[in-house]
């Protein structure tokens, strides 16, 4: 159940769609997200008055093709899975949207099941109150 936000400089709706597909396909392929589990915010920024800023950092040269991908998901993936995810996002962003891999900046933020409400004001992934604390029953505790 990842939540993805993609901000891209100079991106029209076609490029944003391609980037969204690239990230989703990479999530499905590398960490097993179900194909119908897509929740994304796609934002294009124009090149003249853009609020996106970037520098060359750690030897990575970036340009006006910069794409920021922020993924929020439940914790539990291994470092190897995350590295495969980053690599695949960069590959697919290049294949689908023509974005140079050096311009794909990805960050992952992890949280716990209780941190999600998927609608109706409910915490669907949280344990039910009856199973959350086995000592909360009315039976005497021995």
> Which active-site residues does the annotation give?
2
What's the alpha-carbon Rg for the chain, to the nearest Å? 19
User: From CA 51, how far away is CA 54, in angstroms rounded?
Assistant: 10
SS3 content of the chain, % helix, strand, coil (to 5): 35, 25, 40
- Cβ-based burial of 141 (10 A; exposed 0-12, middle 13-18, buried ≥19): exposed
Q: Where are the beta strands (DSSP E) in the chain?
A: 3-9, 40-45, 67-74, 104-111
């Amino acid at each position: 159940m990842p939540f993805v936000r993609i901000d891209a400089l100079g991106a029209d709706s076609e490029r944003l769609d391609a980037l969204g597909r690239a990230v989703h396909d990479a999530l499905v392929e590398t960490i097993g997200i179900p194909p119908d589990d897509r929740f994304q915010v796609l934002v294009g920024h124009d090149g003249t008055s853009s609020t996106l800023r970037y520098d060359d950092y750690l030897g990575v040269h970036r340009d006006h093709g910069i794409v920021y991908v922020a993924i929020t998901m439940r914790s539990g993936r291994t470092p190897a899975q995350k590295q495969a995810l980053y690599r695949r996002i960069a590959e697919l962003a290049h294949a689908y949207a023509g974005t140079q891999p050096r311009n794909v900046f990805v960050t992952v933020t992890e949280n716990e099941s209780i941190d999600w409400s998927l609608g109706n004001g409910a915490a669907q992934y949280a344990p039910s109150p009856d199973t959350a604390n086995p000592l909360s029953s009315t039976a005497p505790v021995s």
